[in-house]
Chains A and B, each alone.
Chain A
Amino acid sequence: MLLVQNLSLYRSNIKIFDDVNFSLGSSKIIILKGKNGSGKTSLLKTILFLLQPSSGSIYWKSKIIKKSIYDFYNNLTFIGDKNTSIRQLTITENIIIWKKIFLSKVGNEEINNILSILKLDNFKNKKINTLSLGQIKKLELLRLIIENKKYWILDEPFTNLDTETIDIIAQSFEDHCKNEGSILFSTHQDIRFKMFEEIIL
């Protein structure tokens, strides 16, 4: 379980966020909301231990996160605001690389099913630089399935997606929670789940 206590971040004496508290346990969705520049991405980066907090603590499985950082990473998939697919390769080539790098055991049949749900199956052999931003984002979200980790941390996962795809992704979030997964994500969209917690920054 991830526990965040009294977390604050100041940069050059400017407050980025202050006194953030939450716990992310099994079957839980936490949505970070806030205006542009309110510190959502910085908070996610702090949780990922890329930024040092000015004060407060982060615990992973009851230990200070610094001491168990690689165990935390082993249980985590992070989708940031950038698309990590390699632009000069095709969708299939990117998926093969991801499966190899993440030592994924997810079968090709399951991946093909998801590609057809996301309407990417006809573009499997197209290079990423020929796809639209929405299609690239859908492919990026496929990494959640390929990595097959319990904790998902996402920065603006619904950017560039149409409403139909947003519904599909939201449903997959619900399904992940049913399987004892946990999700922390930031968004501007008004997305609602059966059970969720909202943090306004």
Chain B
Amino acid sequence: MYNFLKKLINFFYREYKINLSGFHDILTNISFFFISIFIFIFSIGPEKETLSLLSVGIVWSLILLSLTLSLRKFYQDDFDNGNLLILHLNGFSFELICILKTISHFIYVQIPFLISIPIASILLNISFDKIYYLLVTFLFGSLILSNLGSISSSMNLLNQRNYLLGSIIVMIFSIPVIIFSVAVINQEENFHYLINILLGILLIVFAINPWASGACLKLALQNN
């Protein structure tokens, strides 16, 4: 048991080193997020009322689009260099690999957005009360998106020709996340009900992700 826990911690150390060496990718994602916000501001105009009306939806849409940029690296590098197989042969089941990769994607890709959101909110004239709700919904929503990203990226390993397909799958399945996340912020009186729905969606994707992604990883390694 002690060795197993040690292996889990060491897995995150490995992910930390890989993500640190590819820090420019994270910076690219955040730059894309901010540049897109500026494009929205320039295209909508500087009126505070219009901005505050659309701002939460804009932030959520851009988080989703930025996420799709990072999906390609989710499993692809470890698959190409044979590390997925080596991890599996060293006692990491495919399902466990999927859970750990999803958590590490949340920590190393999504958490930097958590820091960016307050800055983006100031640019979009979002009130401080709403920033709090935005951050809470982001915590749930980004975990859901990481799980969806894991499923679509593992499916992409089986379909090396069309990377956009994975992004499209994430976008379609993230529609409920965006609906409820935006609703949480715009209907503060229903906060607890809507956040429970988000939690429910999170539990569903968290239950499906390891089995669906694990099966895709296994098939991809068989076909490789």
Contacts and interface: CB of A to CB of B under 8 A. Distances in A.
Nearest to A102: B90
Given A82-B81, A83-B82, A93-B17, A51 B90 contact: no
A176 B114 CA distance: 51
B183 to A, nearest CB: 41
Contact of B90 (A73, A81, A85): A73
Contacts of A100: 10, 13-14
Interface in A75-97: 76, 78, 80-89, 93, 97
B14 A97 contact: yes
Contacts of A93: 17
Interface in A136-159: 147
Contacts of B6: 103
Given A50-B222, A70-B91, A80 B82 contact: yes
Contact of B91 (A74, A80, A85): A74
Nearest to A87: B81
Interface string B176-189: 00000000000000
Interface residues of B, number: 25
B7 A103 contact: yes
Interface residues of A, number: 26
A48 interface: yes
Nearest to B77: A86
A101 interface: yes
A98 to B, nearest CB: 9
A130 to B, nearest CB: 14
B86 A89 contact: no
A92 to B, nearest CB: 11
Contacts of A74: 91
B21 A89 contact: yes
A73 B17 contact: no
Interface in A32-87: 45, 48, 50-51, 70, 73-74, 76, 78, 80-87
Given A100-B10, A100-B13, A103-B6, A50 B87 contact: no
19 contacts: A45-B222, A48-B89, A50-B218, A50-B222, A51-B222, A73-B88, A73-B90, A82-B81, A83-B82, A86-B17, A86-B83, A89-B21, A93-B17, A97-B10, A97-B17, A101-B7, A101-B90, A103-B7, A103-B10
Interface of B: 3, 6-7, 10-11, 13-14, 17-18, 21-22, 80-83, 85-91, 218, 221-222
Closest 5 CB pairs between A and B? A82-B82, A100-B10, A88-B21, A84-B82, A97-B14
